[in-house]
Structure 1
Amino acid sequence: MFVNPFLKKPRFSVSLCLKQNDSDEKQIQQESSKEVDEEEEEKYWVLTAVRSRYNEIVIIDTLASRYLLLDSTKNVHSVINKNGRNWTGSYWDEFASLPPIIPNGPIAIYGLGGGTAARLILELWPSMQLEGWEIDEILIEKSRDYLGLSELEKPTSKGGRLCVHVDDALSPSQDVSGRYAGIIVDLFSDGKVLDQLQQVPIWLDLASRLMPNGRIMVNCAGIETEQVAANGKPRLELGDSAWMLNSTIKILAEAFPGQVSWKRTPDSQGLNFLALTGDLPDLSDWSNEVPVRLSEAVRQWKLCKTS
């Protein structure tokens, strides 16, 4: 639940004294922000700012969109557009390509955040049963209040809906063996993939929660040590072995030898690495089964190879 960084969206410079409890919170006064390149200024409103057990939670409003910012990094973990379009132009859109390549059955979203991925999936696949897992109860409350999460919990016209679980998705106590057709993993803390996901056993446990032929799709973030070019932008590593520079994909490849594919979103979409377990799908068939906006994107998946 992290986009790195805003890129074409405004980056907000938020400095607030977060409340421990905001049950009687009133709307915080309007503040101003600056675009990443500081060429223009945009107004935003802070709708809520509160510290929970797990997060520093800030939800901000602009004329075009509403954003969920978390932890000390103030990275964006969810976005909802006000024009009625649920496409984000970021990695969340990629998750909506998963349904055509998995068996019939529910999809789990580990790291639900404000429900950005769930919203698009239910628009495109309205019969889908989603189970969103989020450890932070206050974050869920705020997402219901400000990000329309409660609307996703109501059945669609085709019977699909989002069921929210407030719990630790990685807890071994979760009895979900063989339950899911797909699992989306989007778990971050302080701008990094959770440390637990850098261990092979946790991925084997997650795989045990899948139906036969089920798949896991993972937001693996970027490359921490990526070099910066003279223009200040990352010098992209886009060769067939670039995945080896991402620690999370390396662990996945160790856990599932020969059964992990990868891709990287373009500069305009955050430079996030994504991983997919299972055999590499037939990219042509997959491309034909997703919305046009995703058809070219799914053709970019590659099998992880060491040479």
Structure 2
Amino acid sequence: MWMILSSSPQTPQIHDSITPLRRGYNLQVKSTRTRITFPFNFKLKCHQQSSLKPKTQDDGIPIEDVKTLAKFKSRHNYIRVLEVSRKADHPFRGSRLLLLDTPGNIHSISFLFKTLTDTYFDVFATLPPIIPPGPIAVLGFGAGSTAHIILELYPDAVVHGWELDPSVIEVAREYFNLAKLERENQHKLFVYVGNALTATLEGGFSGIFVDLFSKGSLIPELQEPATWEKLRTCLKKGGRIMVNVGGSCVEAENKFRDGKVVMEETLKAMKMVFGEKLFVLRLGNRGDDSSLALTGDFPKSDSWKNALPSSLRCYVDLWTPYSGI
């Protein structure tokens, strides 16, 4: 299997302002500021705060506040695990970050003392109340950010995750508490190493999260309607798919794989399969920074909000029908 299937938080990026991380320099030895960005700050967008302009995810982190815990090349990925100091003046303080490609896109994030991340993983966590009971698939498991949030917020959930690179799962168990999560959820969390697009389960999935990136870009299969037709057949009646479709924030290894263009091609392929039952949530300072997609009839907003923790209700009103074709 040639593709890299991995979890990619709207693919924020890490850059050293003098020597880019993509060239393999050790972040710990540079006395400059490292720019670690998700392309949006959810709290500000959702709660409409901020006349005081607090630090956001676009602000730099002093290099001395970032520690490299692991760095190596696997068969599929250039794997790096970074830890941001709890003393850092930044929304990522106290977090661990998983990078999997040469440009340095972040694929997973976890915090030691909190569940929610103020990233698109929190939007993923709004799906369970609007799907029927049953197993949930995570296609592009990464270090398990999605599974961790879902199992923490919804104790009855059952999660099946697919990740192509066994080295990513090993790193997740060592640095992102996946081993503990598996022990505590032996009958509710199942992790498979393999091609996520072959994922199946007898009886189907109630919900499917799609978070599949290769070399800093959505995998090409997601721009093909046949892929979405196949995934639709994997759903139970009333099931839904929620997708990280990336955007202009994504930096691909191939300069011809423009993030915004690939995002729109993916949405158009989904539109051909799901028709009017396709909705988009666009994020970031610019409308095309990063987007998520949701399939199915749009739920009743009040009922959806009432079923969510208060900190997640703001995302419901950000969805709009997709009209790109």
Ranges in structure 1 where 5+ consecutive residues have no aligned partner? 19-27, 226-241
Q: Given that residues 126 and 160 in structure 1 are in contact (C-alpha distance below 8 angstroms), is that contact kept between their aligned partners in structure 2?
A: no
User: Residues 301 and 243 (structure 1 numbering): CA distance in 2 closer, same or farther, change over 3 Å?
Assistant: farther
> 1:108-119 counterparts in 2 under 5 A?
108-119=137-148
Q: 2:241 aligns with which of 216, 220, 230?
A: 216
In the alignment, the residues of structure 2 paired with residue 198 and residue 223 of structure 1 have an alpha-carbon distance, to the nearest angstrom, of 16
Deviations 1:193-239 (A, max 9, x none): 110111001111111111001000000001479xxxxxxxxxxxxxx
Ranges in structure 2 where 5+ consecutive residues have no aligned partner? 1-6, 36-58, 86-93, 251-259
1:204 maps to which residue? 229
1:2 maps to which residue? 8
User: Residues 100 and 268 (structure 1 numbering): CA distance in 2 closer, same or farther, change over 3 Å?
Assistant: farther
Aligned residues: 275
1:168 maps to which residue? 195
TM-score, normalised via structure 1 length: 0.80
1:180 maps to which residue? 205
Deviations 1:121-151 (A, max 9, x none): 1111011100111010011011111111112
Give the counterpart letter for 1:136 in structure 2.
Answer: D
SS of aligned partner of 1:88: coil
Q: Which structure shows the bigger proportion of residues in helix conformation?
A: 2
User: Residues 276 and 38 (structure 1 numbering): CA distance in 2 closer, same or farther, change over 3 Å?
Assistant: closer
Q: Given that residues 29 and 45 in structure 1 are in contact (C-alpha distance below 8 angstroms), is that contact kept between their aligned partners in structure 2?
A: yes
User: Residues 270 and 39 (structure 1 numbering): CA distance in 2 closer, same or farther, change over 3 Å?
Assistant: farther
SS of aligned partner of 2:318: coil
In the alignment, the residues of structure 2 paired with residue 189 and residue 147 of structure 1 have an alpha-carbon distance, to the nearest angstrom, of 21
1:140 maps to which residue? 169
SS of aligned partner of 1:74: coil
In the alignment, the residues of structure 1 paired with residue 144 and residue 287 of structure 2 have an alpha-carbon distance, to the nearest angstrom, of 18
TM-score, normalised via structure 2 length: 0.76
Q: Given that residues 22 and 103 in structure 2 are in contact (C-alpha distance below 8 angstroms), is that contact kept between their aligned partners in structure 1?
A: no
Q: Percent identity?
A: 35
In the alignment, the residues of structure 2 paired with residue 29 and residue 262 of structure 1 have an alpha-carbon distance, to the nearest angstrom, of 36
Q: Given that residues 259 and 279 in structure 1 are in contact (C-alpha distance below 8 angstroms), is that contact kept between their aligned partners in structure 2?
A: yes
Which one is further off, 117-126 or 216-225? 216-225
Structure with more relative contact order (C-alpha pairs < 8 Å, separation 6 or more): 2
> 1:256-267 counterparts in 2 under 5 A?
256-267=274-285
2:110 maps to which residue? 80
User: Displacement of 1:301 after TM fit?
Assistant: 1.2
1:273 maps to which residue? 291
SS of aligned partner of 2:197: coil
Q: Given that residues 143 and 149 in structure 1 are in contact (C-alpha distance below 8 angstroms), is that contact kept between their aligned partners in structure 2?
A: yes
Q: 1:61 aligns with which of 77, 83, 97?
A: 83
1:106 maps to which residue? 135
1:189 maps to which residue? 214
